[in-house]
Amino acid sequence: MLMDDLKGRVCLVTGASRGIGAAVARGLGAAGMHVGVHYRTGEAQARQVVADIEAAGGRAFALQGDIAAAGTTERLLEQTVAQFGRLDVLINNAGDLIARHPVAETPDTLFEQQVAINMRPVFAGCRWAVQRFRAQGGGGCIVNLSSIAARTGGGGGSSLYAASKAFVATFTRALAKEVAAEGIRVNAVAPGVIATPLQDRTTPKETQEALRAVIPMRRIGTAEECVGAFLFLCSPKLSSYVTGQVIEVNGGLLMP
């Protein structure tokens, strides 16, 4: 069966209490994986994701932390290994568009905050995961979350967010080259306009409607429609020869 190779494998999904992260965690759990469901403030939502995974036949537990704080991502990974005994997959999903500002009006503090939440945790998590994969004898999978903004520069006032997601895409390719010979695969998923709490908080409804009109599929995507790309990349049976790639999930809005 396709993806039966995921059963029993261990994964940490950061930012998994809502949006794309929650959908991905549920999808991996339904495939039989053991999932660490990370959250920052959404404890009730994270525990619901855990319950849904367990109801689908997977195993899961919730773990809390602010990934913008140095050392948090490493602690979450350590907790996942302590809970399940190993690590097979890391999904660096957590991130944020903190605020929209023109570059000329952007304070240093916002630059530092955007780096702290969108870039440093990806670097730190990947570094820790590679070391763990090596200690386990090689192999392993990392999937990072980029964005269509990494290619387009993003919408108005989102230059730092777009740049941070471009970092994720380029860092993904660079790391993939470093570790490919060890059987460690590193890829990314770049969603387009997706209906999530982050989208609703940062993009006005009229802007979303304008975007809908130019998407070839004429609709905004759902978090669940991103899950297949993650499942594909996590499954050695389906994607054993795929590394250093950024899969675009955007309804045709961008066709690179």
Q: Which residues are known catalytic residues?
A: 161
Q: What number of residues does the chain have?
A: 256
